Structure 1
Amino acid sequence: MGDLILAHEPAIRLAVYLGILGLLMGAEMLAPRRALGQGRLRRWPANLGVAVLNTLLLRLVAPGAAVGVAIWASAHGIGLFNMVAAPGWLAVALCVLAFDLLIYGQHVAFHRIAPLWRLHRMHHADLDIDVTTGARFHPAEILLSLGIKLIAVLALGAPAVSVLLFEVLLNATSMFNHANLALPGRVDRVLRRLLVTPDMHRVHHSWHRDETDSNFGFSLSWWDRVFGTYRDQPRDGHQGMTIGLADFRDPADLRLDRMLLQPLRAENVPSSQESGGKVV
């Protein structure tokens, strides 16, 4: 079973990714939440280009990635669920929940710790937010995230199917919650009881630092409510809010080369109140 999952893992992830990407791109054009300030041709090549670069990098550095580590850990009896008897469905469900909580905690850390924020802020420097923003992460952040995930897979002894399921879920929900998609208010309210919706996550991309440092969840909306980082709406409203970062407003920064070099650039250091308590 493990070999079968590993053999088809790239195809499964790619098929789901491209299917949801295409679906959401179409939905954004039919029912946009906001008018885009920058044209798609200015933003999409670099946002999708960095996604391709990250995919190639991961395949080069760790071809089997987290799924392969899960299969190896199972074969060697390493990790919690490889040492404790539990129904397969329960192990899968608990591991998916644990991974989602881990991503929430990692996201908070990338905002709070200054060197990590330098990597993560490339994601926030997009001047608009749409489905392609969900793929806009610096390669160094992707590699760090992979390392954290591999440690978690080993510690949990996570079943390979839970790892694949979570990675597919994370990619899908990241695209969904970044989408420039207008959902009816009632639908949004119902969905965000469980999932992070576009309106919920858009608050996180506000240029107001206290709003940037809120709504950290990617898939499940519970963690922000539990840990007190939930914010219902942006103070300026979804139509009036400014997306991005105050220090990076030049449209030229949307180019791929400048995106990759962005962690090396300085930004104005805000007050401790505005910075959200980042460790410098």
Structure 2
Amino acid sequence: MQNEAWLRIGSFLTVLVVMMVWEALLPNRVSPVPRSKRWLSNFFLVFCGALVGRLMVPAGLAVVAIYANNIHFGVFNILGLPDWLAIFLSVVMLDCLIYWQHRVFHRVPILWRLHKVHHADPHLDASTGLRFHPIEIALSLLVKALGILILGIPVEAILIFEILLNASAIFNHSNIKLPNWLEWPLRKLIVTQAMHRIHHSQVVKETDSNYGFCLSIWDRLFNSYTKQAKAGDDGLVLGLKEYTDEASNTGISTVLLMPFGDKPSNNNH
């Protein structure tokens, strides 16, 4: 458990630092809000989310997998698949689960109130990939725990998936632009920056598409893929229309209380 924690933290910090340096050297866009103000809000939410996770599941989601294995519960425990196959399928299925969780958070009004904290960021960079309300983090933990229990996910798969999920979120929210010769082939497998920027468009139809976090296949498979924004990547306007002024989308109290405000949603969720 101790080694798992250090491996997760180490991989998280490595990806975060690499992408932030890349953004600093070759930025794709200029933020409409001072970076210091956005980072204060975004990284405060990271701290809150980590605290919630620690309080809810002190030893991590691995304990759920160990429990399922001990009582021989869950699909993969019952099937008795080879370890490598069970781990591979588990990572793929968890990514599919997160895709559907994301999609549901867009469609259910009370859940959208939580998730819009993420979308209200008027700019995208590595920190946006970590900007989630702590209540959403708590609900996501419950969803993942339930998925782990029902599927009988091996402990090793949870570690791999959590590392991939964090790395993907940081990577595809980063303020960079890959060259077309790399971006288009790469998005056939994973979610790229240009593909995910469409999801953060102020155009409702575009926001309600490209839900994937890691693998890009789910959006194609479940008919939620948008190849290109109507205004193109350079003309795409990020954020939510009702949260365009700086006072409404940054600030610690602002982001924490945002789900409980009475502002209308331009996404009609």
Same structural fold, with TM-score higher than 0.5 when normalized by the shorter chain? yes
Q: Out of 239, 245, 264, which is 1:268 matched to?
A: 264
- Whether the 8 Å CA contact 1:34–1:238 is kept in 2: the answer is no
- Whether the 8 Å CA contact 2:200–2:238 is kept in 1: the answer is yes
What is residue 252 of structure 1 aligned with on the other side?
247
Matched to 1:255, the amino acid is: G
How far 1:159 sits from its partner (Å)? Answer: 0.3
CA distance in 1, matches of 2:265, 2:93: 34
Q: Secondary structure at the match of 2:223?
A: coil
Deviations 1:82-135 (A, max 9, x none): 222210000001111110110111111000010000000000000101110000
How far 1:65 sits from its partner (Å)? Answer: 2.5
- Whether the 8 Å CA contact 1:188–1:197 is kept in 2: the answer is yes
Further displaced range: 219-228 or 31-40: 31-40
1:1-280 alignment runs, 5 A limit: 6-253=1-248, 254-268=250-264, 275=268, 278=269
How far 1:139 sits from its partner (Å)? Answer: 0.5
Gaps of 5+ in 1: 1-5
Q: Secondary structure at the match of 1:247?
A: helix
Could you tell me the TM-score, scaled by structure 2's length? 0.96
CA distance in 2, matches of 1:133, 1:192: 20
Further displaced range: 100-109 or 75-84: 75-84
How far 1:190 sits from its partner (Å)? Answer: 1.1
How far 1:226 sits from its partner (Å)? Answer: 0.9
Matched to 2:101, the amino acid is: Q
Q: Secondary structure at the match of 2:213?
A: coil
Further displaced range: 189-198 or 25-34: 25-34
What's the RMSD between the two structures over aligned residues?
A: 1.2
Could you tell me the TM-score, scaled by structure 1's length? 0.93
Gaps of 5+ in 2: none
CA distance in 1, matches of 2:51, 2:8: 14
CA distance in 2, matches of 1:208, 1:62: 37
CA distance in 2, matches of 1:83, 1:153: 13
CA distance in 1, matches of 2:157, 2:52: 23
CA distance in 1, matches of 2:255, 2:69: 39
How far 1:269 sits from its partner (Å)? Answer: 5.1
Further displaced range: 174-183 or 51-60: 51-60
CA distance in 2, matches of 1:219, 1:108: 14
How far 1:30 sits from its partner (Å)? Answer: 1.4
Matched to 1:73, the amino acid is: A
Moved over 4 A (4+): none
Matched to 1:268, the amino acid is: P
